[in-house]
Amino acid sequence: MSKTPKYDDLSKSNTDFFSKLFPASLMVKVGTETVATDDGNKFIIKTTTSRLVIEEDKKTKEVLDCTVEPKYETKGGYILEGKFQTNNELSATVSKTHPFADGQIKIGFTGTQRIQEDTVEQTITGSGEFSHQKIATKIQAAFPLESRAYKANGDAVVQILDNLYFGIKTEIEYLKSLRVKKGECKLAGTYGTTSGHLTGNFDRVLGLLATHNLNSENTIGFNVTVALPQEGKEVKENEKAKPSSTKIGVTIAGQHKLSKDSAVQSKISLNTELQSKEAPKKPLGIRLGFGFSQNLNSHASCTLGADVNVGSFLFGSAGGLGHSLGFEIKLK
């Protein structure tokens, strides 16, 4: 099988270190996974139920979601998948995997229905994946059944050196003309017990993330994000151009394993904006995150998190959102 990871997996473990270990936003999440095998065939069903509070248009909003994902894999390489969500989105996928020496090819088709208020959107998506020892690529093309834009996206990862990979990802759409909607590139690698990646995208956002295992019990991480001004952005009629600013975010995190089944983690996040002289100054955003992870047994694990807005103590209401807790449990 291919040793080259897919684009979305290049930095997944590192980004999870800064997010999934710290549930917050009043989130309560329960996930289950059941696996059954029979004569080389496998049936998997995953469920996720979550509740959290987000900020939208400077107002808090409660979001409830329940997702059920059945999956059936045959020993011949055929895969049938479904996804049912309470946000009125349904999808079904059929795909075929063909392995060969040092790699594989996968072809699939997905049908999706999304209900939004008074409209129903239906889409047929075709996808193809090719993976080998030193390369992994994926292409998807979406064909709507209504009068909407055609969309396509693709990514590719190439192994440059041992444990060093370069990846690129892009998304285009066509309605009346062809337009590149998104674009991103990534350089990821590991050296000893240190792993990290560099990212950059068309939205002028740059990122650097790294984690390092000090020993078998302690891990530290460092994450820097820089969002450069969106120069040349169109301004609507009767609106004034907003002063441009550069947003900088820095996060330092650490985890200590109390035992093989439990760990504690903490992080501090700093966010600031470098603005022009005419723009009003914004206070420095300072937040602390805490987490505790516990494997209850071989079939269950849980994570408890807390987010503390230190900036609210220093700057009052201008310090951002308030404090929150979060809880997640996984059963399998």
On the CB side of 121, CA atoms within 13 Å amount to 15
* Average pLDDT, integer, range 265-280: 82
Partners of 219 in beta bridges: 213, 255
Inter-residue contact 199 to 188 (CB < 8 Å): no
Confidence category of residue 235, pLDDT binned at 50, 70, 90 = very low
pLDDT of 301 above 70 = yes
* Segment 131-177, tens digit of pLDDT: 988 999 999 999 999 888 899 999 999 999 989 999 999 999 998 88
Question: What's the CA gap between 3 and 197, in Å, rounded?
Answer: 18
- Structural domains in the chain, CATH included, are 7-230+244-331 (2.40.160.10)
pLDDT at residue 237 in the model: 46
More confident residue, 320 or 23: 23
User: Parallel, antiparallel, or unpaired: how do β-strands 41-56 and 27-38 relate?
Assistant: antiparallel
Partners of 173 in beta bridges: 151, 179
* Segment 76-101, tens digit of pLDDT: 999 999 999 998 899 999 999 998 88
* Segment 56-65, tens digit of pLDDT: 777 778 889 9
Smallest CA-to-CA distance from 220 within 210, 212, 228, 209 is with 212
Question: What's the CA gap between 221 and 17, in Å, rounded?
Answer: 8
**Structure pTM?**
0.84
Q: Is 175 helix (H, G, I), strand (E, B) or coil?
A: coil
